[in-house]
Amino acid sequence: MKPDLNPEFVRHVWLDLTPQRLIATPLILAMVFVISTQLEGLVGEMPSVAMMIFIGMTGLWGAKLAGDSLNNELTQGTWDSQRLSGMGAWQMTVGKLGGGPVFAWYGGALCLLVFAATSDWNLESLRKLLTAVSAAVALHAGALLAALVGWRKQPRTTATPRSRGASILLLLVFAPQMFMLIGGRENAGEVIWYGWHIAFSDFVLLCAVLAMFWATLGLYRVMREELSFRDPPNAWIAFLLFLCGFTGGFFHGRVAGYAIPELSPLLAHLAFCVLLMLLATYALLFGERKDWVKLRRLADLARGGRFREAWEITPKWLASLALSGAAVGILALACVATLPPMSAIAKLCTAAGFFAFLVRDGALVLGLNFVRDQSRADAAAAVYLMVLYALLPGLLNVVGLHFVAAVFWPTLIHEQPVWLVLVLAQAAVALDFAIRRWRRLPA
Amino acid sequence: MIAADQLTYDYPGKRALDQVTFSLAPTSITALVGPNGAGKTTLLRCIAGLDEPYSGSIAVAGIDVLRRPRDAHRQIGYLPDHFGLYAELTVRQCLLYAGRARGLDSAALDARMRDVAAQLDIADKLQDKAGSLSRGQRQRLAIAQAIIHRPRVLLLDEPASGLDPESRAALSGLMRRLRDEGMTLIVSSHILAELEAYCTGMLVLQHGRVVEHRVLEHSSRADATREIRLRLSRPVSGLRELLTQRGVTISSHDTQGARFSMSGGDDALSSLLQSLLAAGLPVCEFTLEETSLQDVYLKAVEDHRVQP
């Protein structure tokens, strides 16, 4: 279907591109550009000004508009109607992605016209333009994705403030990078990736295109779930594996000890992958809804041998947990194969300790969520984890029990591998807690 | 047209639907009734494919809603209890958007938009913004959006709430017309008197279970069994024998009246009355005592009044 016939896009055009806006925007932008010509020494040359306005208006403000367009569906009570429409997930994704920030794109297109008209037209200008457009689409998709994920976290009636918060957080994180990377002043030099020397501006463009691809794919997959399709965590797993592969470029082709002292590029990369998986699992443990009715159904399906259906409803945190375990296993094997025995044991125990801490924390989060009213469970889990990771070790250190305090920090297992037993004991206690709470759930 | 099999839906700590099984015939209008919290809205949302049940299956027009949700959605129109409209769009834009989003092609869309606007009596409001409409007009616009793609199944959750008596009467007429056009409707409502005017069946939910599912009989049907009340202006001995000879089943009687049931259509009823008059009975009242939807509903709920 042509973009101009996408019903969702057309609806946004009706709503956002009013005649008043269509006339006023070019006039206001023209005034800004005229003023900027008088302040050239202060604000930079015209192409830079045009690009900065594009980043601000289309990239950042557009992301806000995109997020708001979804949040408004919720507050206006129109989302169920959209979910029942005949539009496919891809059509809906394109419609929201192009339609939500359509006004920001209108202003942005004018800025890009000015940029194109005033630049020395060469490969560098084209690269900058493509980077800016890709980054803007990635941000819009990210904002929409954050809004949808925010909704799924809690009952729909109260989801909006949190999903708005997710969009704002996204902007706060990415806004400075966008201005710095696309702005043009910090893009000299090169990046070494898998041993290749790549111009920094080329690498930024590659990252922006990849971010656009993954953010759009993520949005599409979550949209599918919203449109009642069962959606196994395949894309999420593919994304994590992609991250492992992509970040490998910063380790391989380097000398040993470049990234992490004493470790070969392979081991350093694997250690980083473990860290990545752990972080992803933690993020989803707190970011996803722990619907125990769905978990019970998953357990029933698995017990009944209906593994395909079970896989379709497997939560992403569980898939991430499994990947974390696999990453730890691969790292352990690599350590055993490439390091002297004592060093291998120390690193193996450290990796296992990280995983045991993840299991402990996951069990704690789940156990606290195994109640009728889950509204405060994640907040309570966060407080308990703060106690376990900061307050309790701090207190033990204050009273001179440094040795015992080490039990609550996974990195110290490297010095005392035997401490792993105590970490495993903590994980066992947490699992017992979660299992007891699970069994006490109403039938 | 709609078949639910062993449908179970759980909220954390509460079973909203418990092994719900039923099947609805095409072009029927089923009243979905039950006390608050009985699971009516959850059932409608499961049929619409908006919520996935814990177990069981649902088929709409032969399509497995859980496996092929988007195919099912094309066959379904749904008006939720708390619906939303795009307040900044005009009524015309709302309808065009609804039609396009549900796959109507541009050539037929304008005519269909005018058609449903006329059906719902909002044709004179096409250029007004949805946000400026009254409650009743908003309700009608929402129904128009739900039917613009000519769904085979229409699910309505409290469609008459907020409507004035005139609009409610018009809504009843619309339901019948939609059924005549071939739609199958499920209407959840607490206003049983209005449901009675157009429903052909009733599904009573209580504590998430189906406690009554019956096809409502129309009094004009030839094989219908009707309750009749007979009153005489003066006592007549032998009334019981007179009635029994005419093949009716007496439920109560005295010398000046009786209640009885008989099978047959309007012709049989007319013959019976003529026969009684011919026998010299001083008939001053001969009334059909139809069991109301409310009576059936209250009886079903009372019979199953158990702790959840």
The answer to whether position A55 is within a domain reads yes
pLDDT digits (tens, 9 = 90+) for B7-24: 999 887 788 898 999 999
Asked if A77's CB is within 8 angstroms of B12's CB, the reply is: no
The answer to whether position A221 is within a domain reads yes
The answer to whether position A142 is within a domain reads yes
Give whole-number Cα distances, B308 to A78, B212, B304, in Å. 33, 17, 10
Model pLDDT, residue A41? 64
Model pLDDT, residue B195? 81
Give percent above pLDDT 70 in chain A.
88
Model pLDDT, residue A163? 56
Q: Which residues contact A48 (CB under 8 A, 6 or more apart)?
A: A183, A184
A-chain residues within 8 Å CB-CB of B69?
227-229
The pTM of the full predicted model, rounded to 2 decimals, is 0.84
Give whole-number Cα distances, B34 to B8, B161, B206, B291, in Å. 17, 16, 6, 18
Cα separation, A269 vs B134, whole angstroms = 64
Q: Which site among B100, B139, B147, B148 would you substitute to test the A interface, given the most A Cβ atoms closer than 10 Å to its Cβ? A: B100
Q: For A88, which residue in chain B has the nearest alpha carbon?
A: B70
Classify burial at B218, counting beta carbons within 10 Å of its beta carbon; exposed 0-12, middle 13-18, buried 19 or more: exposed
Model pLDDT, residue A28? 95
Q: What angle do CA A55, A60, A66 make, to 5 degrees?
A: 130
Model pLDDT, residue A130? 92
The answer to whether position A413 is within a domain reads no
Q: For B103, which residue in chain A has the nearest alpha carbon?
A: A86
Asked if A10's CB is within 8 angstroms of B84's CB, the reply is: no
Asked if B101's CB is within 8 angstroms of A293's CB, the reply is: no
CA distance B37 to chain A (A): 17
Q: What are phi and psi of A282, to 5 degrees?
A: -60, -45
The answer to whether position A107 is within a domain reads yes
Q: Mean pLDDT across the stretch B229-233? A: 91
Secondary structure element (H or E) that encloses residue B230, with its range: strand B225-232
The answer to whether position A241 is within a domain reads no
CA distance A80 to chain B (A): 7
Q: Which of B48, B54, B101 comes nearest A7 by C-beta?
A: B101
Give percent above pLDDT 90 in chain B.
36
Range of A55's domain?
1-229
Model pLDDT, residue A158? 47
Model pLDDT, residue A169? 67
Asked if B97's CB is within 8 angstroms of A10's CB, the reply is: yes
B308 pLDDT tier (thresholds 50, 70, 90): very low
Tokens 């409310």 correspond to B294
Cα separation, A55 vs A137, whole angstroms = 11
The answer to whether position A426 is within a domain reads no
Retrieve residue A94's tokens.
Answer: 């394109």
B-chain residues within 8 Å CB-CB of A11?
86, 89, 93, 97
- Partner residues linked to B250 by β-bridges: B260
B-chain residues within 8 Å CB-CB of A85?
73, 98, 101-102
Q: Which of B11, B48, B74 comes nearest A86 by C-beta?
A: B74
Chain B residues bordering chain A (beta-carbon distance below 8 Å)? 10-13, 48-50, 52, 54-55, 66, 69-70, 73-74, 76, 78, 80, 82-89, 93, 97-98, 100-103, 106, 145, 149
Q: What angle do CA A107, A143, A141 make, to 5 degrees?
A: 75
| Amino acid letter, residue A114 | V
Q: Mean pLDDT across the stretch B213-223? A: 64
Model confidence at B97: pLDDT above 90: yes
Q: Which residues contact B116 (CB under 8 A, 6 or more apart)?
A: B95, B144, B147, B148
Model pLDDT, residue A422? 87
pLDDT digits (tens, 9 = 90+) for B28-49: 999 999 888 889 999 999 999 8
Asked if B12's CB is within 8 angstroms of A292's CB, the reply is: yes
Model pLDDT, residue B92? 96
The answer to whether position A193 is within a domain reads yes
Instruction: Name the domain count of chain A.
Output: 1
Asked if B149's CB is within 8 angstroms of A76's CB, the reply is: no
Q: Decide if B286 contacts B271 (C-beta within 8 A).
A: no
A14 inside 8 A of chain B by CB: yes
Q: Decide if B31 contacts B201 (C-beta within 8 A).
A: yes
List domains and CATH numbers for chain B: 2-215 (3.40.50.300), 225-288 (3.30.70)
Model pLDDT, residue A357? 93
pLDDT-flagged residues of chain A (< 50): 1-4, 158-159
More confident site: B197 or A337: A337
Asked if A372's CB is within 8 angstroms of B73's CB, the reply is: no
Cα separation, B34 vs B189, whole angstroms = 9
pLDDT digits (tens, 9 = 90+) for B65-79: 988 888 888 899 999
Cα separation, A133 vs A58, whole angstroms = 9
ipTM for the assembly: 0.82
Q: Mean pLDDT across the stretch B255-266? A: 84
Model pLDDT, residue B217? 59
